[in-house]
Each structure stands twice: as C-alpha cells, then as structure tokens.
Amino acid sequence: MDLICKKISEQSSTRSEPAVMEAENPVITCRNCLAPVTRPEYSIQINDGYSHTFANPQGHVYEIGCFFRADGCVKFSDTSDEFSWFKDYVWAVGLCRNCRVQLGWIFLALRPGECDKFYGLILDQLRFP
C-alpha cells in the first residue's frame, strides 16, 4: 500500500492577515498544561485518513491525529524504524515543548516525497477548541 499524504486545509500564501487575527485562530493545546501545540488547519490525511488507531508492541492502543505542523511538539528520542505504523517512515517520540508529557510521535520519511515529515499526536493528550 502506498502512503498518501494530503493536507486537509491549507492557508493561502497570498492572504495577509494582521497579527491580531493570527491570535484569534483556534489553537489545539496540550491537555496537561494547556500550552499551544498545533492548529486544526494543520491536520493532514495520511493513508486516506486524518485519524488512525494503532497498538504498540506492549498492547497499548492509541488514537492519533495527523498534522503537518505542530510547533508545540518537540523530538525527544532518536529515530527508529521498529514497529513503525507508517510504511517508509521512521519515528521519534514527541513531547510537549512546555511540560514534556508525551504528545505522540514525529514521523520522518525514509525517501523524499510529498510528505517528508508529519506528527502523529495522541488525540486524548490534546484539548481541541
């Protein structure tokens, strides 16, 4: 199965908005500390879906949402190709930039393509507007 990566909503590069408008856009925050993590318009479809449910090798089940940008999520671990949920991607653990709780994973493509990097964020770890 080929990986399909498609932005659900893109902001127009020709649109210019004042900084005040930027602050009014809805923000998805860390459920633990309420720090900004990403925005709804940064969601992305991976393998024909925005959200996916996976189990890790220990049997923990996660529902993740995919985002092409998540400034509030920082890489915590080295990358690994073991048990990757997405073919042709390696992953690293992603933590909240503010409180360091695990928000999910950062997926990096093994080969250059349309979607070189995306964030798989645990939906239960996020607070939506």
**What is the average pLDDT score of the chain?**
86
| Contact in structure between 69 and 94 (CB atoms under 8 Å) | no
pLDDT at 86: 94
- Percent of the chain past pLDDT 90, that is, above it, reads 76
Kindly report the pTM of this predicted structure: 0.81
pLDDT at 1: 38
18 band by pLDDT with thresholds 50, 70 and 90: very low
Distant-in-sequence, close-in-space partners of 36: CB < 8 Å, separation ≥ 6: 27, 28, 29, 71, 72
Run of H or E residues at 89: strand 89-96
Domains of the chain: 17-127 (2.170.150.20)
Rounded-to-integer distance, Cα 33 and Cα 99, Å: 6
